[in-house]
Amino acid sequence: MITGGTGSFGRAFVKAMLEQTDASRIVIFSRDELKQWEMQQQFENNKRLRFFLGDVRDLQRLNRAMDGVEYVVHAAALKQVPAAEYNPFEAVQTNILGSRNVIDAAIDRSVRRVVALSTDKACTPINLYGATKLVAEKLFVDGNAYAGSQDTRFAVVRYGNVVGSRGSVVGLFRKLASSGKIPITDVRMTRFWITLAQGVQIVFRAMENMCGGEIFIPKIPSMRVVDLARVIAPDATQEEIGIRPGEKLHEELVNIHDAPNTYDLGDYYAIEPNLEWWAGGSLGGTRVAPDFQYTSDTNDQWLSVEQLQDIVKDV
C-alpha cells in the first residue's frame, strides 16, 4: 500500500511495482477521488490495483485499507512550505498525527515493512514543514520499539527536491519564462536534485535491506538554481529577490550531529538509530568521518547546464 498514492511519487512507484514486481495487490490510498479516477485510466484499470479513498488522519480507514497488506510506503504529506506556515496545525495533523496513525495501523495489521518518505528539509529544519517531517522521522524510527513483539519494522528514506514533482520550481520557471524575468532568491543558492525514478529505486533498496530504524539517504547530485533558470529561460533576465522566510541557502541531508551514526554504503548513506534498543544491523558499510556533513553546496556531484537540459526536457 502507498499512502498519498496519486501524487507524483505514487504514480511513479506504482508503475515500477507493476513492471518490476509480481505483487498481487497494490493499494493506492489517497483522499482525492478525481486523481484516483485519472490514475485508474492511466493504468487502464489494471486488476492488480485497488483504490481506497481515505485520509491518513483517519485511523479506522487506515486499518481497513491495510488488511492483508505486507508492505507500506508512506508518501502522504502536506509539503508546500508557505501553506504549512500559514496553516500550521493542518500540517501537524497530516504530517505528524497522520504518521502516528500509519504506524498504529501497520502494527495492528501486522504489516511486515513500512518505509516513510522524508525530505532534506527535515535535516536541521528552519520551517514548519521541515519540523513536522523531522518529528515524523523520529516517530517512524521509534516505531520499531513501539511495535513490541510484533514483527513490523519501520525505516525512512530522506532525499532532496524531486525533478518535476508538484510544486517544483521547474513549473514556476517555465510559467515565467515568457515574461522575460525569472526571480532568483539568491544567486548562490544550491539544491539537491533527484528524479522520480531514483526516488523509487532507493525506496526499493530500503525495503530490501532495512533492519528497522535506519534513515536511508541516496547519493544524488546538486545543482545551482541560476543554472536551472538559465536552462529553462535562456533569454530571460534573472532578478535576485532575496531568500524567503523558512528557506535555506543550501540544503542538508546529513548534518554533523548525525555523522557518528552514519555509514557509507556505496551509492547511499544510512543513519542508524542512536538508541538503546538498536541491536545493530547487517548493512555493513564504512562509518563516515566524525565531522562529516552532506550538504548541497559541498557535494562532490554537480549537474552541468547540459545535464540539466537533458533532465528537464523529459519533465
- Cα–Cα dist 190/109, whole Å: 42
The set of catalytic residues is 121
**Do residues 95 and 78 lie in contact, with contact meaning Cβ atoms separated by under 8 Å?**
yes
**Selection from 273, 136, 269, 280 nearest residue 213 by Cα:** 273
49 sits in which H/E element = strand 49-53
**Do residues 261 and 274 lie in contact, with contact meaning Cβ atoms separated by under 8 Å?**
yes
Q: What residues have CB less than 8 Å from 216, skipping those under 6 apart? A: 155, 156, 157, 158, 202, 205, 206, 210, 268, 269, 270
- Cα–Cα dist 118/220, whole Å: 15
Q: Which three cell numbers stand for residue 217?
A: 539517504
Give the dihedral of Cα atoms 39, 45, 46, 47; nearest 10 deg.
130
